[in-house]
Each structure stands twice: as structure tokens, then as C-alpha cells.
Amino acid sequence: MEQNREISYRQILRIPDYRKLILSNMVNRFGDSIDSIAFTWIVYQITHSAAWSAIVFGVNFLPNVVVQPFAGAIVEKMDKKRVLIITNLLRAIVITSFVALYIFGHIGPVVMVVITLIITTIESFDRPAASAYTANVIRKEHMTAGISLNKMLSSAATLIGTGIGGVILARAGATAAMCIDIATFLVTAILVGLMKSDGIAFSECSNSKAGNSEESIIRLFKDGIAYTAKTPVVRNFCMLCVALNFMLVPINALQAPIASEIFKTGAEILSFAGVFSALGGIAGSALLPLLSRKLSPLSITGLGTAALGIGLLGIPVGGIFAGNKTACYIVMSVCFFELTIAASLIGGVLGIQFMKCVDQEYMARASAVFDATSTVAMPVGSFGISGLVTYMSTSNIMIFSAVFSLAVLLALVLTRPELEKREVKTADAA
């Protein structure tokens, strides 16, 4: 019988490398939250076009879909710690180049698309390396508490970054905001470098007769896809994440129309939504360890899916308060708070089970295939919605998303997919 030992946050924080890992993630998320506000502002400031904003948003996900599965195979053969240091330094260099071009007035729509592609391509190598390295730092018995605390503190860092990002942008300008992002990449690289855990290269653990590097990478890529396809838990994770990302595309892509068309307010309501969204992420991460002691991963996923449906439906229903500014702010804040609690619970439980179920030697490859498969829903969904808005109102699209979440919930209840690794039971000696 599996021994279910409770590990407290205090015990986890006694692990030196974990403290550095969690701090590096917080610094990174803080910088990303400021960068997202600054970059969005620069895109619109330069192009004055919602169409270009949508193009840049869609392009942002393409390398994750196309490059990341191959990147995972390449990273599997490398020292994960070194990859994390290099990718953070490269992102700092690219953003520095972007700031220099922006200062001298050489930024245009095409340059923004190219910069976005470069940054996301680098991230396609960073993500599988981070997953594999995290699995090397956190033991399986610490996984639930470790990942939950990491998500909770990262959400708190995002909340702080979102809260002050607008102030920095207004007071100091986009250049200062981007420089802060550069600094966070450098700090993250230093923190990773200070960790004592080594990112074990797969090639060191593999048979030395692997052949030339090109053949080896292709073999690793194929093995990663085959491993994902034949492992029920990972395969179910991929399908579930695709469905959930499709469900959440409207709430991410249509925030401005939600504010103007449904609630008849200005963009300021989105600030409230952003703050309460970050608070929901913190709350969901804090709740996850408590729920994990009493509920199975499937039950938590079902509960989160139901909450997502309610939150999505609450937005178009809340449109009845249009004209009442206070009521609209409350409805929007409550809905986003609930949505991010639910998304945090589902994402957290899937992340924990992924770390527990995937074999260490396949971690980078499986993570890359998993991320690419689930991410494909974002650009496809975004481009699909850009066509739907011509024929459907924003309110009806949100209702459709809520109905889709109900369909996903019914599928979970009826099929009961395997979302956790089954332990092999052994008979105890009498």
C-alpha cells in the first residue's frame, strides 16, 4: 500500500536548491508580467491595429507547437542546468536588442513578429529543460507541496508585476519596463547557476552506441512521441489540456470586447480582472494540497472543469448589470477569480501527476510533446474565434465556451480517464 506522507511547506523550504528554484521562478514570472504589459502596449502604440495585435498573439504560440517537440529531444541529450542558464541569457540579449531598436525608432510590425518568434523559440528549449530539471530537484514525495508552493508564489509574483507594471509603464515608459525584464532574466540565470543539483544529460545515461547526433535527435524525438502516445496518463493529459485550452481561448482573446460589449465599460475593468485573476491563482495553488489529501486527481479535475464552466457562463449572464459600474466590476472580478482558481487546480494537479508519472529519462521529451500538443489549441482557437466574431456576439461565444466545458465534464464523468499512475501492490509478509 502506498505510503501517503504529508510534507509541509516548511520542510520543502529547507531544501537549498528548491529555495533557489522557487525564487528564480518568481523573478521570472515577475519580469514576464511586466514584459507582457509593456510589449502589448508597444505593439498597439506602433501599429495602432487590433489585427496586428492578434497576429503577434498567434505567432507567439507557433514555435511552441512546431519547434518544442524537436527541442525536447535535443535538450534530453544536454545538461539541463546549462540549458536554463543559456536560454535566460539569450532572452536577455534578444530583449536588449529589441530595446535598442525601439529607442532608435527601428521597430515595426515585421520586426515585432520576428522578435516574438525568436523569444518563443528560445522558450521552446527552456520549458522542457525546466521540467526535467525541476523533476531532478524535487523528490516525488515532495511533489504536491513543492509544485503547489511554487505555483502559489509565482502567482503572487505575477500579481505584484501586474499591479506595478502599469505604473512603471505610465511613469517611466516602456523602455524602463523592458529593462526590468532584462534584469530578471539575468538574475534567473545567476540563481540557476548557484544551484548544486546537476541537470543530468540523457546522453550520459544512455548507451554510448547512439550513432551520430542527427540520428540520435531524430530517434529521441520519435521516442518522445511514442512514449506520450503509449502512456495512458500522459496521453490523457494531452487530450484534456487541448480541450481546456480551447475552452479558455475566448476569455484570453476577447477581453476587450467583453469589457465594451458585454459590460459596456472601459478597459479599466480589465485591471480588476487581472488582479483578481492573480489572486485566484494564489488561492487555487494554496487549496491544491488540501484537496489532494481528500480527492483523486480525476475528482479535482472534474471539480475544476465545473468551476470553469460556471465562471465562463457568469460573464455573459453578468451582462444584465451593464450600466451599473460597481455591479459589473464585482461580476467580472468574481468570474475571473473563479476561473483562475479552477485553472490553477487543474493545471496544478496535471503538473504534479506529470512529474510523478513520467520516467526521468523521458521527462524533457514528454514535456515538450505535452506542451506542444496542448498549446496548439491557442493559435487554432484564436484564429477560429477571429472568424466567429463576424457571425456571433461575444456573449454567445462565451455561452458556447460554457457549454463546451459541460461537454468536457460529462466526458470526464463517463469515461473516467486515467490521470494518476497506478501503484503496483505487493503483499506484506505476515
pLDDT tens per residue, range 158-215? 778 776 776 777 778 888 888 998 999 999 999 998 887 654 444 444 444 444 444 4
**What is residue 19's predicted lDDT score, i.e. its pLDDT?**
86
Output the pLDDT for position 386: 66
pLDDT of residue 422: 63
pLDDT per position as a tens digit, 42-68: 776 777 655 566 567 667 777 777 777
Residue 399: the pLDDT is 92
What percentage of the chain carries pLDDT values higher than 70?
82
Which residue intervals of 138-267 are DSSP H helices? Answer: 143-172, 174-194, 202-205, 213-230, 232-253, 255-257
Judged against a pLDDT cut of 80, whether residue 130 lies above it is answered with yes
Predicted local confidence at residue 191, as pLDDT: 92
Higher pLDDT, 302 or 379: 302
The mean pLDDT of the chain is 79
Task: Tell me if 1-199 shares its fold with 213-420.
Answer: yes
pLDDT at 228 > cutoff 50: yes
Least confidently predicted of 391-395, 398-402, 409-413: 391-395
Highest mean pLDDT among 45-49, 121-125, 257-261, 352-356: 121-125
Are 259 and 266 in contact by the 8 Å Cβ rule? The answer is yes
186 touches 92 (CB < 8 A): yes
Q: Which residue has the higher pLDDT, 255 or 414?
A: 414
Q: What is the pLDDT of residues 309-364, one digit of tens each?
A: 999 999 999 999 988 989 999 999 999 999 989 988 888 888 778 777 777 677 77
| pLDDT at residue 91, rounded to an integer | 93
Q: What is the pLDDT of residue 265?
A: 81
- Mean pLDDT, residues 7-27 taken together: 81
Between the alpha carbon of residue 23 and those of residues 86, 196, 287, the distances in Å are 18, 15, 21
List, in order, residues 6 or more apart from 419 with CB less than 8 Å away. 233, 236, 237, 240, 296, 297, 298, 301, 349, 350, 353
CA distances from 427 to 27, 139, 281, 316 (A): 47, 25, 41, 55
pLDDT digits (tens, 9 = 90+) for 361-390: 777 777 777 777 777 777 777 667 767 777
Q: Which residue has the higher pLDDT, 374 or 251?
A: 251
Least confident of 60-64, 122-126, 288-292: 60-64
Task: Reply yes or no on whether the pLDDT at 7 is more than 60.
Answer: no
pLDDT (0 to 100) of residue 92: 94
User: Which residues are CB-contacts of 363 (< 8 A; sequence separation ≥ 6)?
Assistant: 128, 131, 132, 135
What is 213-420's CATH superfamily?
Answer: MFS general substrate transporter like domains (1.20.1250.20)
Q: What is the pLDDT of residue 44?
A: 63
| Pairwise CA distance, residues 357 & 351, whole Å | 10
pLDDT score of 221: 65
CA atoms 71, 77, 80, 85: torsion sign: negative
According to CATH, what is the number of the domain 1-199?
A: 1.20.1250.20
pLDDT for 299 equals 92
Comparing CA positions, the residue from 193, 294, 211, 246 lying closest to residue 408 is 246
| More confident site: 217 or 114 | 114
> Domain residue spans in the chain?
1-199, 213-420
